[in-house]
């Protein structure tokens, strides 16, 4: 009896540790799973996610690679075609552009080009987002680019539960899955279930119920939306907050159901405004939910500049809570 009670107790960990536990669980459950990427072994990962896994599982399953994203991503594709379940770690999303040919022209298209004969069960993880003063080659949010590509799924876990639970669901998918982990979240901590359940990667989630406006976001910006909603509630404005979780496929139903209730929508996206995932979401709302809107859809995105290094400029380039609050108040009350 005491053992059962102890097993049911939640565990306290960071986002980084939640991802590590997801990796550890996958490696234990399936001998076909292995992790490969730059510094994932002896160094423990550029962001410390895989620390200790080399000692636990050995170099056959935790593989340090050369600095060649195209090469080791291609090796991951080959391993997936050969029956393995590789997890490829790309240090930052900016560096993934060096492997874009492998991801877009090979992994995403192989099932189609083989006439449905060959799936590519590959998972690619990478850091994304700004806010850590890592300058323009390490700080952008390009997950919206990848959401443009048929043949892959694009996941953006924001919570500890999703960071812990999405990986196994992704590994069970027969097709390529990209997981974007915002580097600002790695130190976030909290309590989660000791026995996490699988995460449905095809559905968005309402993180806060509301009636006056729908705030749509994902990854680190989700928490800015939640903070803004708390402040707005003190002024009598109840914001519903939706965590997209997955950028491809988008869960239109959850978004449209919320907007039918609130009649207003604000999209918060760390990507650039032009050609962004926020533009796609806005278009879908206009196409499928136009008559539910009382005012036009608003978007709050990153400034159209390479990410600055200086802290005050970087913060000015990113969406902020104050901007969300100001935008919502203007939409609901007609003035700032």
Range of the domain at 102: 2-192
Is residue 198 situated within a structural domain? no
Confirm whether 260 is domain-assigned: yes
Is there a contact between 187 and 199 (Cβ–Cβ < 8 Å)? no
Residue 320 maps to which CATH number?
3.40.50.920
CATH number at residue 139: 3.40.50.970
Q: Is residue 274 part of a domain?
A: yes
Reading phi first (left if > 0) and then psi (alpha if -120 to 50, else beta), residue 3 is in: alpha
- Residue carrying structure tokens 């806005």: 282
Q: Are residues 38 and 105 in the same domain?
A: yes
Number of Cβ atoms within 10 Å of the Cβ of 183: 23
The 10s digit of each residue's pLDDT in 195-253 is: 888 889 999 999 999 999 999 999 999 999 999 999 999 999 999 999 999 999 999 99
> pLDDT digits over 72-128, tens only?
999 999 999 999 999 999 999 999 999 999 999 999 999 999 999 999 999 999 999
Give the count of domains, the chain: 2
Residues 19 and 147 in one domain: yes
Q: Say which of 38, 69, 89, 240 is annotated catalytic.
A: 69
Whether residue 277 lies inside any domain: the answer is yes
- Phi/psi of residue 266, nearest 5 degrees: -125, 130
* Residue 8: band (very low, low, confident or very high) from pLDDT cuts 50, 70, 90: low
Q: Indicate if 70 and 172 belong to the same structural domain.
A: yes
238 is catalytic: no
Residue 29 sits at φ, ψ, to 5 deg, of -75, -30
Question: How many C-beta neighbours within 10 Å does residue 11 have?
Answer: 16
Query: Does 102 map to a domain?
Result: yes
Q: Which of 38, 138, 263, 270 is catalytic?
A: 138
Residues 59 and 6 in one domain: yes
28 and 123 inside one domain: yes
Look at residues 160, 192, 224 and tell me which one is the last residue of a structural domain.
192
CA atoms of 164 and 20, how far apart (whole Å): 8
183 and 212: one domain? no
Is 69 annotated in the active site? yes
Whether residues 151 and 78 share a domain: the answer is: yes
């Amino acid at each position: 009896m005491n053992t059962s009670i102890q097993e049911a107790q939640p565990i306290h960990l960071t986002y980084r540790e939640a991802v590590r536990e997801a990796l550890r669980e996958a490696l234990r459950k399936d001998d076909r799973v292995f992790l490969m990427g730059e510094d994932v072994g002896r160094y423990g990962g550029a962001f410390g996610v895989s620390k200790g896994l080399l000692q636990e599982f050995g170099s056959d399953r935790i593989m340090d690679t050369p600095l060649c994203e195209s090469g080791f991503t291609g090796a991951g594709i080959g391993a997936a075609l050969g029956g393995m379940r590789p997890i490829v770690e790309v240090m930052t999303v900016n560096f993934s552009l060096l492997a874009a040919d492998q991801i877009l022209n090979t992994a995403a298209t192989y099932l189609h080009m083989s006439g449905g004969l060959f799936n590519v069960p590959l998972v690619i993880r990478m850091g994304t987002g700004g806010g850590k003063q890592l300058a323009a080659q390490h700080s952008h949010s390009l997950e919206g680019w990848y959401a443009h590509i048929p043949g892959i799924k694009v996941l953006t876990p924001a919570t500890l539960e999703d960071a812990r639970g999405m990986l196994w669901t992704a590994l069970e998918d027969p097709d390529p899955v990209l997981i974007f982990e915002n580097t600002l979240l790695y130190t976030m901590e909290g309590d989660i279930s000791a026995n996490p359940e699988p995460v449905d990667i095809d559905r968005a989630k309402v993180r806060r119920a509301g009636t006056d406006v729908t705030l749509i976001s994902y990854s680190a910006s989700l928490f800015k939306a939640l903070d803004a909603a708390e402040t707005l509630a003190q002024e009598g404005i109840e914001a519903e907050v939706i965590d997209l979780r997955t950028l491809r496929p988008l869960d239109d139903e959850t978004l449209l159901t919320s907007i039918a209730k609130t009649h207003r929508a604000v999209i918060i996206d760390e990507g650039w405004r032009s050609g962004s995932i926020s533009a796609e979401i806005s278009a879908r709302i206009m196409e499928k939910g136009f008559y539910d809107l009382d005012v036009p859809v608003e978007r709050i995105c990153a400034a159209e500049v390479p990410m600055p290094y200086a802290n005050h400029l970087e913060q000015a380039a990113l969406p902020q809570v104050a901007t969300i609050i100001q935008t919502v108040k203007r939409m609901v009350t007609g003035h700032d």
